[in-house]
Each structure stands twice: as C-alpha cells, then as structure tokens.
Structure 1
Amino acid sequence: MSQEQSPKVQAATQAQPPKIEFPCPDYPIKVVGKNADDFQSFVVEVMRVHVPDLDESRITIQDSKKGTFRSIRMFITATGEGQLKSLHEELIASDRVHIVI
C-alpha cells in the first residue's frame, strides 16, 4: 500500500515557510508605531539591547500618508529564535509600537 500524502497534507507541507538558518545576515525587521520625534531613538535603543552591532546606516524611515504613523526598517544579523522572540516581545510590549514584521 502506498503511503502517499493527501493533496491537503501536501499543500500544508508546501505552504510552511522555510526554516531560517542562524546566524542569518540581512534579516529584515520593520517596526510600525505612532509617529513621534523620539520614536526612532526608542526603537534603536530597544534594538541595541538585542542587536549590539546594529548598523544604523541601514535604517530607513517612512511616514504614513497623513503622518500619523512611522515605519522603521532595519536589517540585522539574527543569531537565533530566542533573540528574535525577545526582540519582538519587548517592542510589542510598548504602547508606542503597533506591529513588528
């Protein structure tokens, strides 16, 4: 008897994102929050706790059309799942951050 997977199982298996191999250079992180003069410095301060070698020259900032929100995009060398989880939890715990991608 063949042990072929059903089409649903195959689709679910194929839909899973690829595993990240650590360290992972150029790992993109985008933080979106309320636009304020010190939002970038707040995000960078949190990032430095988890990514001491953060390259600030690679940070890009974009404000929303009405200027209410600001997105900050960075590239880091991700060292492990624990680092990414801690970073995400600390950023999202702030009432200033709406989403971390």
Structure 2
Amino acid sequence: MDYRDRYGKKFIGLFKLPKEPADTLLEFPCDFPIKVMGKYADDFEALVTEIAERHVGVLPAGAVSSRPSSNRRFVAVTIVIRAQSKRQLDELYLELTSTEQVLMAL
C-alpha cells in the first residue's frame, strides 16, 4: 500500500511496522476507541468509517459517532473497533493520519 503525508510526500522506510511486539499493555482482542478529527465536511464520518472497515471489517451499529465543533469548522468522529493486534492498530493509525482530510487521530 502506498502511504503519503498530506503534502504528497511518500513514506519510504520511515515507518517500519514491527512484527507482534510483546511490550504492549493491551490484551488482544479488545474493544478500542479511536477519535479522529478533521475539518467539517458532510462526508468526513463516511471517510473515517471506510478507512476503519478496510482494517477491521464491517463496523457494528453504534460503533461510529460524530460531533461537530461549536462553530462547525471541525468535526470529531469516534469509532470503537474490535482490535485483534497492535499491528492492526498501527496500520489503521498510519492510514488515517496519512489521509489529507484527517488532522489528528488519537
């Protein structure tokens, strides 16, 4: 998969995803919430959902919620996924943060 930052620069060898590290504090599988923030757009929630579903499969009803900022300039989308491994989370975060519309993912 080709990952680029929001300026179009390609990630080449900067991020090497480890094999399954044993030093994680999480026990897998586990429910894991991810908050994704971006500029307000009608399709932002759908974009975040589409990216998440590429990594975890179809999200159940109620797994996605969104909240616009008070001035509607920004929106925060929260997704709760069933994470199977740290590697899966790393790959999901990498794709989310390399998407131009995403300002931040926590």
Q: Does 1:72 align with 2:98?
A: no
Indicate which of 21, 26, 32 corresponds to 2:27. Answer: 21
Matches within 5 A, 1:21-40: 21-24=27-30, 26-40=31-45
Structure 2 distance, partners of 1:42, 1:53, is: 14
Give the TM-score, by structure 1 length.
0.77
Specify every segment of 5 or more residues in structure 2 that has no aligned partner in the other structure, as ranges: 1-23
**Mapping of residues 1-20 of structure 1, within 5 Å:** 19-20=25-26
Residue deviations 1:68-97 (CA, integer Å, cap 9, x gap): 111111111111011100000101001100
- May I ask how many residue pairs the two structures share in their alignment? 83
- Tell me which stretches of 4 or more aligned residues in structure 1 moved more than 6 Å: none
Do residues 95 (structure 1) and 100 (structure 2) align? yes
- The structure whose residues are more often helix, as a share, is 1
2:59 paired residue number: 54
Map Cα deviations across residues 26-72 of structure 1 (whole Å, 9 max, x no partner).
21111111110111111111011001031242311100111011111
What SS is found at the alignment partner of 2:80? Answer: strand
**TM-score, structure 2 normalization:** 0.73
Unmatched 5+ stretches in structure 1:
1-17
